[in-house]
Amino acid sequence: MGRHREFDPDEALHIALHVFRRRGYEGTSISDLTEAMGITRPSLYAAFGNKEDLFRRTLDLYERQHLCFAHAALQAPTVREAVERLLRGYIDVLTDPTSPPGCLGVNGAVACSEASEPIREELIARRMVNENNLRDRLETARAGGDFPSDEDPADWARYVVSIGLGMAVRAASGASREELQRVVDVALRGWPTLPR
Amino acid sequence: MGRHREFDPDEALHIALHVFRRRGYEGTSISDLTEAMGITRPSLYAAFGNKEDLFRRTLDLYERQHLCFAHAALQAPTVREAVERLLRGYIDVLTDPTSPPGCLGVNGAVACSEASEPIREELIARRMVNENNLRDRLETARAGGDFPSDEDPADWARYVVSIGLGMAVRAASGASREELQRVVDVALRGWPTLPR
DNA sequence: AGTATATCATACTGATCGGTATGCTAAACG
DNA sequence: CGTTTAGCATACCGATCAGTATGATATACT
């Protein structure tokens, strides 16, 4: 019973994602959001809780909609190919012409005040999940002979994620897709070869 | 003629650097600064202009005091050693125990609102200067036979800077010195070998 | 129809933002 | 000494921040 909601929460969340990607977490004001969504402040708070809650739900949508390629990438036949798909797929996300450049996760986690410390930690934790997934993939590859036994999966996972972070910063600064492709080209030059 | 200033502007600038490194450009309020410096708002504005002016002067101090190692690093006998000194020296800056972790330049350039767009562009420009210096060093190395002639100096400079950016993000997230050293270890694995 | 309830629009809260006007105080000049 | 001038302290400016109280409106149930 009661009045019907006059907006689509899912559509509104997509708009929030767009705004947050453009302006970052702290750089986005509630007014920015309500204006873009076409709803009022009380409607936003009723539907999504406070700003932090909304950002977390936006993060979920971002991972579900834009970072979902990672799961498939990790299942490539070889780790080397998995890593390459990971990085190339990430470039697609970072330079998607229909979205503001850069990564929602990286842009939010780096700077700004300590009022949003919980958000910073959340983003660091989510990033760590991805790094651990990659490390696990490298470990199974090593066990299966697809990765040298004298190499440390954690070291390589950390390295690959660092490359991703660097590209995310560059993308936020306006780097082109081609530029980033060249970073990946060079980054994969050192991929360890199997002893034979 | 006139009253004497009761604080040391240079010391105040050092404090500003510390605060900006901890909280970022937008995350730092004027009140944060005056409180840490122990001076009043009018004194700050009289001595340093507005927030943007102060941040630029802080950037100058940061480069002069913490990024000065780069110039010496580039003069190492081999490019490969120059790059290694660049990255290891950067780790020292990122994890200096007497300063907040991370890089003033990177933390400021990534996120936050568009009110500080001029600062973002300034930081991107300063970063580009460093990348160009490295590219030039790679070019002279190539001309001198210290770097393969079929490799692109711009590609490698971009790659090295990207590694640096990735490490800066990690450092801001609390990465240890050892972790970052391992990133550099792996990153340099792919350094091109000279034909012989 | 009548009532309960959820959503709407408007306007507001106290806090904080970057930046400044005003008047006081201390030092350098005559 | 007295005037000038620069730095200090206080208190303020309008704007904006995240979040909310209030009352009108529209739907669903009885």
Q: What are B94-147's pLDDT values in tens digits?
A: 999 999 999 999 887 676 677 788 999 999 999 999 999 999 999 999 999 999
B75/A131 Cα distance (integer angstroms): 35
Q: Cα A1 vs. chain centroid, distance in angstroms?
A: 39
Domains of chain A (ranges plus CATH)? Answer: 9-61 (1.10.10.60), 67-189 (1.10.357.10)
Find which of B110, B138, B160 to mutate to test the A interface (most A CBs within 10 Å of its CB): B110
Q: Token pair for residue A27? A: 């750089």
B167 three-class SS: helix
Structure tokens at A93: 């996300």
- Chain A hits for B182, Cβ within 8 Å: 152, 155, 158-159
pLDDT band of A163, cuts 50, 70, 90: very high
pLDDT tens for each residue of A181-195: 999 999 999 999 988
Q: Based on C-alpha coordinates, what's the Rg of chain A? A: 19
pLDDT in tens, B136-187: 999 999 999 999 999 999 999 999 999 999 999 999 999 999 999 999 999 9
Contacts of B135 (CB under 8 A, 6+ apart): B153, B154, B156, B157
For B100: left if phi > 0, alpha if psi spans -120 to 50, otherwise beta; the answer is: beta
> What are the φ/ψ torsions at residue A165 (nearest 5 degrees)?
-60, -45
Task: Give A27's contacts in chain B (Cβ within 8 Å).
Answer: 26, 111-114
> Nearest nt to B33, CA vs C1'?
C18
Round to whole Å and give the CA distance between A112 and B110. 10
